[in-house]
Structure 1
Amino acid sequence: MNTKTLRKLEYDKIIQLLADHAASESGKERCLSLLPQTDLSVIEQMQEETAAAFTRIVKKGMPSFGGCVPVEASLKRLDLGASLSAAELLAIGRLLECAGQAKAYGRHDTVDEVPDCLDSYFQRLEPVSRAASEIRRCILEEDVIADDASSNLLKIRRSIQASGGRIHSTLNSMVNGSMRNYLQDAIVTMRGDRYCLPVKAEYRSQVKGMIHDQSSTGSTLFIEPMAIVKLNNDLMELHAKEQEEIQVILANLSTMAAEHSDEIRVDYEMLTNLDFIFARGSFAVDLNGSRPVFNQEGRIHIREGRHPLLDKARVVPTTIRLGDEFDLLIVTGPNTGGKTVSLKTTGLFTLMGQAGLHIPALDRSELAVFTEVYADIGDEQSIEQSLSTFSSHMTNIVSFLEQVDEHSLVLFDELGAGTDPTEGAALAIAILSSLHRRGIRTMATTHYSELKVFALTTEGVENACCEFDVETLRPTYHLLIGIPGKSNAFAISKKLGLSDEIIEEARTHLSDQEESFEELLSDLEHSRRTIEKEQAEIQAYKEELEMLRRRTKEKQEKLDAQRDRIIREANEKAGRILQSAKDYADETMRNFRKFGKENISASEMEKEREKLRQKMAKTSSSVSLEKAKPKKAYKPSDFKLGTAVKVLSMNLTGTVHTLPDSRGNVEVQMGILRSKVPITDLDIIDEPVSYVSKQTRRTSSGKMKMGKSLSVSPEINLIGRTTDEAVALLDKYLDDAYLAHISPVRVVHGKGTGALRNAVHQYLKRQKHVKSYRLGAFGEGDAGVTIVEFK
C-alpha cells in the first residue's frame, strides 16, 4: 500500500491506537509496523487470531505481557560464555515468569472450551520454572542479592555484621568516653568506606590514628582511630569476599540460563507474537468490532459501520455497498453532510481488515481484498510548488491513474473541484467513465449535478446521498444509496433568513431542466421517507409477531414437558402402588393358606385383617393429603381462641387453643391430641367440632359391641350464667368429657367479680375424677379460663 493513501485515510492514527493496547516494547513495535496484506490466506489467518484473542479476552480477561523485555543481547553474551549482571538475569527471570503466566492463561480449564489457533503459541512457551525461581530467589532487586543465595554468602554477611558491630561498639565507647571533649560532634561517620571520628583540629595530637579527610574550614579532621584500623581492614576484606561470592552466584545463574538460551529465545518470540495478537483483540473489544467476511470479487458491504476515529457517543452508523450491482458509487449532497466520512470509512475499513483488524460494524459485513487503495482526499495545494487546489488534485490523480487495475480501490473526494464547474464536471465524468469501463471499484463525492445525471443514465453506476434535515439544518449522516443528493441551497438560505424575493429571483436563473430535476429529487426524497417509514412499521410488526410466535412455542413446549412429566410420574407412582399391592396381596394369600393348614385362632386372623385395613387407609390418606390445599390464604388475625379449623395435613378437625405466634403457628386441640400447626395448614370451618368416643362393652355372648357415640367440645363457656346454672352445666360437661377421654378441657368463666371462678374451683375440688386444675397461662385466656385435667 502506498504511504500517501495510508496517511490520507488516517491509518497511522489507527495503528497508534492499536499500539497503546500492547504491553511490551516489542509488541508495540510490531503494532506500529503493521501494514495491510494482500494475500487472502494471510489476512484470514490474522483475522482468525484476532477473533480468538477477542473471545479469550471476553471470557477470561486480558493476559499480562509486561515481563516480555528484550534479552537477545544478554543471550548472545551467554553464548560467548560471559557472566551476566544481576539486572540482566533479573530481566530473564521476569521473561520466564511472564511465559509461565501466559502458559497458565492459555490452558483450557474446562472440557467444553473449544481449541483455537492461539493454542500453538501457548504450547511453544517453556517457562523453565527452575531457572526462573532460582533467579528470583537469589536476586531480590537489580542491586540486591539475597542473603541465602548461597551458604558462603550468608556466612560472610554474618561476619560483616559482627565486625561492624565490634567497630561501632569500640567507636561508641570512644565517643562517650574520654575523647568526648576532643570531638566536634559525638557521632561516628564514614569516609571512603572507613569508619572515622570528627576530631577538632586543635586536638589532633590527642587522637592517634589515620587522617582521611578534613572539613572545608579545616577546623575538623576525620580520623580513623588506631584501635579500629585493623577492624576496618578486616571489614574491607569481608566486603571484598562478599563481592567475589556474588560474582560466583551470578556466574552460576548465568550458566543455568545459558543451558536454556534456546527456550528463552522462543519464549521471547512467542510472547511478542501473543502481545501483538492480544493487542489486536483488545482493540477490537474497545471498538466493539466484528470480523469482516472477505471476498476476491471486489464486493463491499459495510453494515452500520462507525468511523473508529469519531466520538463513539456521537458517530452515526452508516451502511455502504459497492461492487455487487454497481462498481461506481457517486455520493452527492451539501457540505458537512458526511460524504467524506463515508468515503474515508470505506477506505479505512478496507485497510484495517486487510491488516487483520476487526472493524466497528455489524457482523457479516463484507470487504474485498484489494492489492492497492488510491485516494485523492483533502486539499493538496502547495505554495512551494506553485500548485493550485485543482492542479494539486490533478497531479495526485495522474500519479495513480496509470497504475490502477481491476484489483484496486479508488476514492475521490470532490472530484473536479477547484476549476470551472462545466469543465470540472466534464473532466470528472471522463475520469469516472474510464475507470468504470475498466471495472475498477470506485467511490467519488461531488457537487456537480451532471454527475447525478451520469449515474442515473449509466449502467453499473449508482447515485447516493447523505441525508440532510432541512428543518434543523443538520446532516443525519445516513448514506442513502440509489438516491442523488440535493444541494438544498434555496431551502437552507430561506431557513437562515434570506428573503423570499431573492430566493424566487434565484430560481429564475435555473433552467427548466434543472428545476424539473430538483423537483424530481424532492419527490424521490419524499417517496423514500414514506417507504422507509412503512418498512420500519412492517419490520416492527414482523418482530412483534415473531416474538409472540416464539413465546407461544416456548409456552407450548413448557406445557408439553409438564404434561409428560406429570404422566411419567403418575405412571411411576401407579406402578409402585400396584407392585406394593401385589406384594402385599401375595403375602396375605400365603398367610391365609397357612391359617387353613394350621390351627390359627380367629384373633390372629383378625390382626392380619386389621393390618391390611390400616395399610389401605394409609394409602388413601396419603393420596388425599396430596390433594388437600387451603381454601384461601388466611391472616394471623383470622384465628381466635375457639375458632373451628381443619388441619389439612392430618385430615382432622379441632379448635384453636392459642393465638398465632411470631412464626404463624397456633396450637390446635383435636380431641385428646393437641399439636402446634402453621396457619398455612389450616382451613377455618363453620360446623362445630365433635369428637366421637367409641365406648365398648362385652355382651353375654362374649362378642364386642360398639356403644353410643358422644359429641363433646374441648371447652365449655359459662360466662353469663349464675353460679347454680354454671355448676349444673359444668357437672354434665365434665362427665361427658371424661367419658370421651378428652383431657385437658377449658372452662371459660371470665374474670368479672371472681364469684363464678370461685364457684367453679369449689366444685372442681370435690370431683374425684379431676386430677388437677389451674388458671390459664398467657395466650390461653389468663385468669378468665381454668384448665382441667382428668385422671
Structure 2
Amino acid sequence: MGLIDAISRTLSERGEVLDSASPQLARIRKQMQVVHDRLMSRLQRLIGDPKIARYLQDAIITQRDGRYVIPLQADFKGRIKAIVHDQSASGATLFVEPTSVVELNNEYRELQLAERDEVRRVLAELSQRVGEYAPELEQTVHVIARLDLAFAIAKYADHLRAAAPTLRPIRPRKGSPHPGTVIRLRQARHPLLDPETVVPIDLELDSQTYALVITGPNTGGKTVALKTVGLLALMAQSGLPIPAAQGSELSVFRSIFADIGDEQSIEQSLSTFSGHITNINRILKRSGKRSLVILDELGAGTDPQEGAALARAILDYLLGRGVTTLVTTHHPELKAYAYNTPGVVNASVEFDIETLRPTYRLTIGLPGRSNALAIAQRLGLPEEIIAAARAELHPDELRVDGLLDEIHRQREMARQARAAAEKARREAETLRAELAARLEHIEDERHAVLDAARKEAETQLEALRGELEAVRRQLKRARQPLDVIAQAEEKLEVVEEEQMPPVERRRPRLPRRTAAPRRVILRPGVKVHVPQLGAQGVIVSLDEEQAEVQVGVLRVRVRRAELQAAAEETDSPEAAAAPQSDSAPKAEPVTAPESGYAPSPGVELDLRGQRVDEALDELDRYLDAAFLAGLPWVRIIHGRGT
C-alpha cells in the first residue's frame, strides 16, 4: 500500500485517527461504544429513579477526571452509596460516582487507555513510513512553495497591472567612464500607490548618461521618483514583474544604495545634515561601477553655499568611479553642473502655476524652474514687493526662467500632440479591427452563398445525369438510335467541366502597418539567425505566430518576431526581383529586432561527475547566464554517482 493510501486510511481530513487505521483500534472503539452505552443507560436509570432524584442537584450526567458522575446535594451526602470525585466552588454540590457503575467506569477507562496506546502505535508506524519518503516529501514541499510563489507573483502582477522588464547585463565600455548600465522605465508607477490615481513617469539614462539630477518644488514628486526607480530595480532583480509598461529595461546591479528621508536622531545627537553625511560616507565606501546610488536632497540641511559645493564634490567622486547615480536637490548650482558635466543630465518635476499644484510629471533634460515669484504673485502678495524682488535678480536669471518657461510650454504642447496622436492611433486600430471583423463577416456570407450555389448546381447536374441515363435505357429497349443522347451527354460533360470549383476562403486585405527597414523573408528553407541561441538555422515550417527552425541537430520553435535575417538572406533588389513560383508559399516580410541579449552560455550543461555543492553552484551561474542571454530553454545533464 502506498504512502498516500496509508495516510488516507489512517487520518481524516481533520487530522483524527480513523477506525480503519488498524483492526485492533476498530475492535477497541467498538467495545468502547458498547460499554459507554451500558454506562449511560445505568446512570440514566439512577437519575430517573424518584428515590434518588430528590437528592440530586440536577438530573444530569457529567465527567470528572475522566469518569462519569452525577451531581449530589452536599446536604444528602451518604444517602447514596457513591465515591466523591469533586465538589462545586460553593461546596453545595458533590460530584459522585455511584458504586453500581464503578465497574463500568473502570472498564470504559481501561478501553480509553487501550485506545490511546493503539493510536500512538499507529501514528508511530505511520511516521516511520513518512520518514522513509523524507527526501521526496521535502522536494515536493519545495516545489509546492515555488509554485505558490509563482502564483502569488502572478496575482500581485495582475493587481498592479505589471509587466516583466528586460534585464540587461552591465557592459562597461573601454575608454569611457560610463559603467555600461541601462535604466529605461516607461510609464513606471510606485508599487504602493493607487494605480488608478498615480501619475506614471518615464525615465531613461541613455548610452552617454549615468547620472540624473532632479530639481523642482517640494511635494512635487522628486522623492517618489527616486523610490520608484529603486524599488522597481529591486523588484526586477527579485523576479517580480514591475508596475511599468512593456519595453522597460533595467541592468542587474550588484548593489543598490539609498539615502532618503530625514535621518536626524535625538538619541544619537545627529542633525539632519549629520545623518545624511553618515549614510553617504557609508555608501561611498561600498559602491562601485555595478552599483546604483540614490541620494535624496543632496547637500541639504546646512549652509546653501557649502551644501552646494559639497554636493558637487560628492557627484564628482561618484562620477569618477563610474557609479550610476540618481539625486534630487534644491541647489540651483547643480543645474549648471549637470548641464556642463558629461554623463550627467538634468530632470525636473513640473508645477502648475495656475492651480499652484504639482503635476508629478518627470521631465528629462530640463532643470526645474524657480516659481517663487510667480507663486507669491498668484497668492496675492503686493505688486510692489514682487517688482522689488524682480529688481534684485540678475537679468540673466530672469531670461533663463523665461526660456525655461517657453521650453516647458513647447514640451507640454508636444506631449499633448503626442497623446492626441496616440489616441488617434488607438482609434485607428479599433476601426481597423472592426473593418477586419466586417470583412470577415462579408467573406463568410460570400463563401456560404457560393457554396450553396455550387451544391445546387451539382444536385441539378446529378438529376439531369439520372434523367439522361433513364432515357438511354428506354431508347435501348426500343432499339432506337442513341445519337441524341450522346450529344446531350457531351454537352453535360462540358457543363460539368465549367462548373465552379469549391469555394476558397479569401483573407481580407487590410492596409499594412509600416514595417521597419530591416526585414527577413520568412518561408521554409530560409536561413535565419536565432538571437536567443546566438546561432543560425534553417526554417523548417511556419505557422501564424511561430517558426520551427533547424539549428544543427536541434529543432527549436521560435516566435516569428524574434527571428533575424542571416547575412545572405536580407532583402536586396535582386531578391525582390527574383520570381516566385505559384506553388511556393508566400514570403512574409517581418521586422528583425535588434539583439540586446548577453552572450549565450550554450544550450546544454553537463554536471555528471561533479560533487553536489560544485554542481549546484555551477548550475546557478549557468541558469543566470542563460536567462540574461534570453535562451528559451536549456538542457541539464545529470545523474546518480556510481
More displaced stretch, 518-527 vs 257-266: 257-266
Alignment correspondent of 1:720: none
Question: 1:366 & 1:529 partners in 2: Cα distance?
Answer: 26
Question: 2:261 & 2:94 partners in 1: Cα distance?
Answer: 77
Alignment correspondent of 2:322: 439
Deviation at 1:195, TM superposition (A): 4.4
Deviation at 1:597, TM superposition (A): 6.3
Correspondence for 1:411 among 290, 294, 311: 294
Question: 2:38 & 2:152 partners in 1: Cα distance?
Answer: 58
Question: 1:564 & 1:173 partners in 2: Cα distance?
Answer: 90
Deviation at 1:331, TM superposition (A): 1.4
Alignment correspondent of 1:739: none
Question: 1:169 & 1:564 partners in 2: Cα distance?
Answer: 85
Alignment correspondent of 2:413: 530
Alignment correspondent of 2:168: 295
Correspondence for 1:166 among 23, 38, 63: 38
Instruction: State yes or no: 1:266 paired with 2:149.
Output: no
The answer to whether the 8 A contact 1:183-1:199 is kept is yes
Structure 2 counterpart of 1:455, one-letter code: A
- Describe the superposition over 1:273-325 as per-residue Cα deviations: whole angstroms up to 9, x where unpaired: 32233322222222221111111241111111110122333211111111434
Structure 2 counterpart of 1:510, one-letter code: L
Q: Structure 1 residues 342 and 196 mapped into 2: Cα distance closer, same or farther (>3 Å)?
A: closer
Deviation at 1:400, TM superposition (A): 2.4
The answer to whether the 8 A contact 1:214-1:222 is kept is yes
Question: 1:304 & 1:479 partners in 2: Cα distance?
Answer: 11
The answer to whether the 8 A contact 1:332-1:484 is kept is yes
Deviation at 1:158, TM superposition (A): 3.5
Correspondence for 1:519 among 402, 412, 418: 402
Aligned pair count reads 470
- Describe the superposition over 1:725-770 as per-residue Cα deviations: whole angstroms up to 9, x where unpaired: xxxxxxxxxxxxxxxxxxxxxxxxxxxxxxxxxxxxxxxxxxxxxx
Instruction: State yes or no: 1:571 paired with 2:446.
Output: no
SS at match of 2:286: coil
Instruction: State yes or no: 1:430 paired with 2:303.
Output: no
Structure 2 counterpart of 1:534, one-letter code: A
Deviation at 1:355, TM superposition (A): 1.2
Instruction: State yes or no: 1:183 paired with 2:55.
Output: yes
Deviation at 1:512, TM superposition (A): 1.7
Question: 2:304 & 2:136 partners in 1: Cα distance?
Answer: 68
- Describe the superposition over 1:656-714 as per-residue Cα deviations: whole angstroms up to 9, x where unpaired: xxxxxxxxxxxxxxxxxxxxxxxxxxxxxxxxxxxxxxxxxxxxxxxxxxxxxxxxxxx
Alignment correspondent of 1:133: 8
Alignment correspondent of 1:67: none
The answer to whether the 8 A contact 2:210-2:325 is kept is yes
Alignment of 1:763-774 (within 5 A): none
Structure 1 counterpart of 2:325, one-letter code: T
Deviation at 1:333, TM superposition (A): 1.4
Deviation at 1:589, TM superposition (A): 2.1
- Describe the superposition over 1:613-653 as per-residue Cα deviations: whole angstroms up to 9, x where unpaired: xxxxxxxxxxxxxxxxxxxxxxxxxxxxxxxxxxxxxxxxx
Alignment correspondent of 1:155: 27
Structure 2 counterpart of 1:254, one-letter code: S
Structure 1 counterpart of 2:35, one-letter code: S
Deviation at 1:347, TM superposition (A): 1.3
SS at match of 2:184: strand
Deviation at 1:370, TM superposition (A): 1.1
Question: 1:176 & 1:546 partners in 2: Cα distance?
Answer: 87
The answer to whether the 8 A contact 1:350-1:367 is kept is yes
Correspondence for 2:241 among 358, 373, 390: 358
Higher relative contact order (CA 8 A, sep 6+): 1
Deviation at 1:378, TM superposition (A): 1.7
Structure 2 counterpart of 1:467, one-letter code: E
- Describe the superposition over 1:104-124 as per-residue Cα deviations: whole angstroms up to 9, x where unpaired: xxxxxxxxxxxxxxxxxxxxx
Question: 1:299 & 1:276 partners in 2: Cα distance?
Answer: 28
Correspondence for 2:471 among 564, 588, 594: 588
Alignment of 1:361-510 (within 5 A): 361-510=244-393
Question: 1:453 & 1:246 partners in 2: Cα distance?
Answer: 81
Correspondence for 1:233 among 106, 114, 118: 106
Percent identical: 41
Q: Structure 1 residues 523 and 179 mapped into 2: Cα distance closer, same or farther (>3 Å)?
A: same
Alignment of 1:320-331 (within 5 A): 320-331=203-214
The answer to whether the 8 A contact 1:301-1:322 is kept is yes
The answer to whether the 8 A contact 1:182-1:200 is kept is no
Question: 2:47 & 2:436 partners in 1: Cα distance?
Answer: 97
The answer to whether the 8 A contact 2:163-2:245 is kept is yes
Alignment of 1:43-58 (within 5 A): none
Question: 2:296 & 2:88 partners in 1: Cα distance?
Answer: 78
Alignment correspondent of 1:246: 119
SS at match of 1:596: coil
Question: 2:309 & 2:91 partners in 1: Cα distance?
Answer: 95
Structure 2 counterpart of 1:134, one-letter code: R
Deviation at 1:239, TM superposition (A): 2.8
Deviation at 1:521, TM superposition (A): 0.9
Structure 2 counterpart of 1:458, one-letter code: T
SS at match of 1:487: coil
Deviation at 1:228, TM superposition (A): 3.3
Deviation at 1:528, TM superposition (A): 1.6
Structure 1 counterpart of 2:33, one-letter code: Q
Structure 1 counterpart of 2:126, one-letter code: L
Deviation at 1:513, TM superposition (A): 1.7
The answer to whether the 8 A contact 1:182-1:199 is kept is no
Question: 1:334 & 1:515 partners in 2: Cα distance?
Answer: 18
Structure 2 gaps of 5+ residues are 170-179, 482-642
Structure 1 gaps of 5+ residues are 1-126, 599-791
Question: 1:214 & 1:536 partners in 2: Cα distance?
Answer: 85
The answer to whether the 8 A contact 1:182-1:203 is kept is no
Alignment correspondent of 1:105: none
Correspondence for 2:198 among 305, 315, 318: 315
The answer to whether the 8 A contact 2:312-2:334 is kept is yes
Q: Structure 1 residues 159 and 557 mapped into 2: Cα distance closer, same or farther (>3 Å)?
A: closer
Give the structure-1-normalised TM-score: 0.54
SS at match of 1:467: strand
The answer to whether the 8 A contact 2:52-2:80 is kept is no
Deviation at 1:343, TM superposition (A): 1.3
Question: 1:145 & 1:489 partners in 2: Cα distance?
Answer: 77
Q: Structure 1 residues 177 and 368 mapped into 2: Cα distance closer, same or farther (>3 Å)?
A: closer
- Describe the superposition over 1:160-207 as per-residue Cα deviations: whole angstroms up to 9, x where unpaired: 333344344444444455743872446455444444555667766664
Question: 1:216 & 1:558 partners in 2: Cα distance?
Answer: 87
Deviation at 1:507, TM superposition (A): 0.6
Question: 1:223 & 1:281 partners in 2: Cα distance?
Answer: 63
Give the structure-2-normalised TM-score: 0.66
Q: Structure 1 residues 222 and 293 mapped into 2: Cα distance closer, same or farther (>3 Å)?
A: closer
Deviation at 1:492, TM superposition (A): 0.8
Correspondence for 1:342 among 187, 208, 225: 225
- Describe the superposition over 1:50-102 as per-residue Cα deviations: whole angstroms up to 9, x where unpaired: xxxxxxxxxxxxxxxxxxxxxxxxxxxxxxxxxxxxxxxxxxxxxxxxxxxxx
Question: 2:45 & 2:270 partners in 1: Cα distance?
Answer: 90
Radius of gyration: which is bigger? 1
Structure 1 counterpart of 2:130, one-letter code: A
Q: Structure 1 residues 589 and 157 mapped into 2: Cα distance closer, same or farther (>3 Å)?
A: same
More displaced stretch, 518-527 vs 411-420: 411-420
The answer to whether the 8 A contact 2:214-2:346 is kept is yes
The answer to whether the 8 A contact 1:486-1:521 is kept is yes
